[in-house]
Amino acid sequence: MSRLDSFIRRLLAQRACLEEAARLVADLPGPIVEIGLGNGRTYDHLKELFPDRPIYVFERKPQPHPECMPPSDKLFVGDIARTLPTALARMQRRAALVHADIGCGDPVATARNRRKLARYLPAIVAKGTVIVSDQPIEGRWLSPLPLPHDVEEGRYFLYRCVSFG
């Protein structure tokens, strides 16, 4: 499969999982969290899916498309090992949905990001929070959810927080 076809499949899976997650958290209170802003495409999509909810964004070095820059009071800049543990004070509520796009093409750095996410994400989630991720996340506090029918296993990941880490 070409890299272009792989990219298209990843984006289709990402959209399908975000839309499924939106359905799953429709009645769950709390803000939305985007970990990994990148160009801002998924942040922009989350704004459409959740027009009435605050969306908090975590990014090491924000450089999105100019129209996709979150407001400064909703943006956490820096490594998630530093920003996630203290984020709840500013967010004021635990997240209903977390989207984590932490893969970076470097297997060692991606594995390090996965470990950080598993360690620090419990600081901002509640029982019932849905987590959508481009990478698998390990933790006894997570239960895998079924993927939308058109998403192949291992392409994207859905979890529900069943307890605190």
Asked if 31 contacts 55 with a C-beta cutoff of 8 angstroms, the reply is yes
Q: What is the pLDDT of residue 104?
A: 84
Could you read off the pLDDT of 30-85 as tens digits, one per residue?
Answer: 999 999 999 999 999 999 999 999 999 999 999 999 999 999 999 999 999 999 99
Give the mean pLDDT of the chain: 95
CB 38 within 8 A of CB 11: no
- Strands in 32-35's sheet, in edge-to-edge order, are 75-77, 55-59, 32-35, 95-100, 125-133, 157-161, 142-144
pTM recorded for the entire structure = 0.95
Separation CA 11–CA 32 (nearest Å): 19
d(CA 135, CA 27): 26
The verdict on domain 3-161 having CATH code 3.40.50.150 is yes
**Predicted pLDDT of residue 165:** 56
Alpha-carbon distance values, 163 to 6, 94, 141 (Å): 34, 13, 5
What is the average per-residue pLDDT within 15-28?
97
Domain boundaries, the chain: 3-161
